[in-house]
Chain A
Amino acid sequence: NAGVTQTPKFQVLKTGQSMTLQCAQDMNHEYMSWYRQDPGMGLRLIHYSVGAGITDQGEVPNGYNVSRSTTEDFPLRLLSAAPSQTSVYFCASSLAGGTYEQYFGPGTRLTVT
Chain B
Amino acid sequence: GESVGLHLPTLSVQEGDNSIINCAYSNSASDYFIWYKQESGKGPQFIIDIRSNMDKRQGQRVTVLLNKTVKHLSLQIAATQPGDSAVYFCAESNQGGKLIFGQGTELSVKP
**A interface with B by C-beta (< 8 Å):** 4, 31, 33, 35, 40-45, 48, 50, 58-59, 90, 92, 96-99, 101-107
Contacts and interface: CB of A to CB of B under 8 A. Distances in A.
21 contacts: A40-B103, A41-B104, A42-B4, A42-B101, A42-B104, A44-B101, A45-B98, A45-B100, A48-B97, A48-B98, A59-B100, A90-B44, A96-B97, A97-B97, A98-B94, A99-B31, A99-B51, A99-B93, A101-B34, A102-B34, A107-B43
B97 A50 contact: yes
Nearest to B106: A40
Contacts, number: 66
Given A43-B44, A104-B43, A105-B43, A99 B95 contact: yes
Please provide the 4 A-B residue pairs with the shortest distance between their CB atoms, ordered closest to farther.
Answer: A97-B97, A104-B43, A42-B101, A98-B97
Nearest to B33: A99
A29 B32 CA distance: 19
A105 to B, nearest CB: 6
